[in-house]
Structure 1
C-alpha cells in the first residue's frame, strides 16, 4: 500500500476541520463537560524546541478560549517517552493532556517495543491534530558546504569525521538523519539530545557540525543567520522559506520526512469532554492571528476530529515502519 504524502494528510485534515466546524456534537457542547480548574499540557521535550514553541502558543489560546488555565510542563527524555508515559498514567479527567508527536505515538512504539513504558494504541485518547511541520537540514556556519551536494561530498571525503545532532533517539529528526545516511551511503555519528533546543544551542556553538531539526523550532535561528539551512525534508518547498530547496531537489532521491503535533489525553476520557476540547482546539488554530503565527514558524495549522487523528496515527505507523525497516532498524547511540 502506498504511504500517504504530506499533501494528502493536510487535505484529510482540512476535510476533518470542515466536518468538525459543522458537527452537531460541537453545537451541543458546553462548559459543563470541560475539566474544572487548570489543565496541564505535558510537552515531552525540552523547552525551546519546536514542540515547545507550538505548544505554548496553543496553550495560551486554548486557555483563553475555554476560560481555563492551561500550563505547559516540559518533561523531556527517552525521545518523548517519559512525558508520554506520565500522561498515559494520569486520571482521564481532562486535567492532564499531552502534546504528542510522531515520536511518541509512532516511532517509539516501532523502535522500543515492549521496553516502551506505555502502549500508544490503547493508553491514550486522541483529541486533535494541531499542526504538521517539515524537518530541516542545518549546518554550523563554519562548515564548508553551502548546499546539500557539497555537504555530501564533504562527508564522503572524511568518513566518520562528522556527527549530526537531533532532538533524541527515535525522533523524526533522528530518522531524517538516518534516512539521509542510508540513501546517500554516508558515515556519520548520531548525537542525541533531550530536545531540539539543546541541540540547536550546540549547533550554534559549533559542538556539532550538522543538525536535523523541526523547522518550526529552527525558523528564528535561520532568519537570524546563526545557522545555515540547506534543505527542507518535505517533497515540496515551504512558503515561509521559498528559497530553501527540498532534499530531492538537492540530489537525495525519494527523500521525504516531516513531523506533527497533536493533543492526546489518557485512555478513558469521556467522549463529550474529548469533543469539546477537540472543537476548542479547532477554533484556536482557525483564528487568523494563530494561523499567522504558526505559519511564521513554518507550521501548517490543521485541527481535526479525534477519529481523524486516530487514522493519521495508523497511516503514519505504516509509513515509518517502512522507513525504519529500510535503514535496518534503530541503533541506540
Structure 2
C-alpha cells in the first residue's frame, strides 16, 4: 500500500497557502480599490506653526476631500526631522496609511551630518510627489542698522566673528546657506542654532539676534508688516512676491543659492497600487488652482511630480548636499 506521507505533505502545503492567501486578502483588496478605508496620517517633522505646517494642513484637508477619507496632520519635531523620518521608515507599516512630509534638509542633508540618522533616504522611502519649494532669504530685524547686503558684509568685516545669524539647527539648509554666504563674502559670522526656524525668527523679531537665513514663505508677512527686512534672495531669480529684492548674485555673491523643497513619501515596500493612487490624488490637489493660488500667495512655489521625478531630484540633491557638507566640514555627533 503506498505511503500517505506525500498526501499529508500536500495537505499541509495547501493549508499553508490558504493561510497566506487569507492573510494577504485585506491588503490585496485595498490595493485593488478599497484603499483608503481608514484615515491617513501625514507626519510633519516640524513644530506647529512653521512653514511646513502652513503647507501641510491645507494640503491635508484638500487631499482628504479628494480621497473621501480623513487626513490627520501629526507634528513630530526633533533631531532636525530624524525622529519622524526614522519612525516612518523603520516602524510604521508599509500600508499606505502613514505619509512622511520630507524636505531637502531631512532627506538630503541629515544623512551626511549624523553618524546614524536612523534611516536611509534612498532605500527606506518611496517618493510620491514633490509638493513645493521656497528659496531661503537673508533677513534682518527692523531695529538693525542694516539696509543692504553690503551693510551686513561691512559690519561682519569690521568685527570678524561678532555678527550673529540664527538658523533652525546645525546642518539645516538655513545654516548651510550661511556657510555659503561667509565663503563668498569673505566674512566670519557667529552661528546660533535653534530648535526650529520659528524660534530663531522670534528672536530676530524681538531683537535678540540681528539676522538669519530663512524660508521666504515663513517671513513674507513679517517683511510686509515692516518687522523684518529681506535683503536678498538665495535663488537664481527674484521672487514675484518681492520683485524689488535682489538675488545674491545681483549683490555680488553668485553661487549663494538655497532652495528648500518638500515632498510626500511613504515607506518603501508600500504596494504599487496604493503608491499610484496616493500620488495621483496628491498631484490633482497640487495642480488645482483653488489650492495652488493661496499657497503661492504665501511664498510657496507649488510643485507636482511623478514618483520617478521626485526620486531623481532626491538622488541629485543627496549627492550635492553631501559635497557641500564635506567641503564645510560640518557634522553632528
Q: Could you say which TM-score interval applies, normalised by the shorter chain?
A: 0.7 to 0.9
Corresponding residue for 2:156? 155
Aligned to 1:197: 198
Q: Who is 1:172 aligned against?
A: 173
Q: Residue 100 of structure 2 is aligned with which of 98, 101, 116? A: 98
**SS of the counterpart of 2:42?**
strand
Aligned-partner Cα distance in 1 for 2:36–2:176? 37
Post-superposition offset of 1:198? 1.7
Provide the secondary structure at the position in 2 that maps to 1:109. Answer: helix
Q: Which has the higher contact order (CA 8 A, sep 6+)?
A: 1
Q: Report the equivalent of 2:186.
A: 185
Matched pairs, number: 303
How does the TM-score come out when normalised to structure 1? 0.87
Quick check: 1:33–1:273 contact (8 Å CA) kept in 2? no
Q: CA deviation at 1:317?
A: 1.7
Distance 1:305 1:109 in 2: 24
Where does structure 1 lack aligned partners over 5 or more consecutive residues? Answer: 1-28
Deviations 1:171-225 (A, max 9, x none): 2111111111122222222222222222211110112211111111111221122
Distance in structure 2 (CA, Å) of the matches to 1:30 and 1:293: 33
SS in 1 for 2:249: coil
Query: In structure 1, the residue corresponding to 2:250 is in which secondary structure?
Result: coil
Q: How does 1:92-171 map to 2 (within 5 A)?
A: 92-112=94-114, 114-171=115-172
Cα root mean square deviation, aligned? 1.8
Q: Check if 1:208 corresponds to 2:209.
A: yes
Task: Write out per-residue CA displacement over residues 250-285 of structure 1, whole angstroms, 9 at most, x where no aligned residue.
Answer: 121322111101001112111111111111111101
Task: Give the conservation status (yes or no) of the 8 Å contact 1:33–1:276.
Answer: no
Q: Distance in 2 between matches of 1:296 and 1:214?
A: 14
Residue of structure 2 in register with 1:330 after alignment: 330
Q: Residue 63 of structure 2 corresponds to which residue in structure 1?
A: 62
Which position in structure 2 is the counterpart of 1:14?
Answer: none
Partner of 2:255: 254
Larger radius of gyration: 2
The answer to whether 1:309 aligns with 2:304 is no
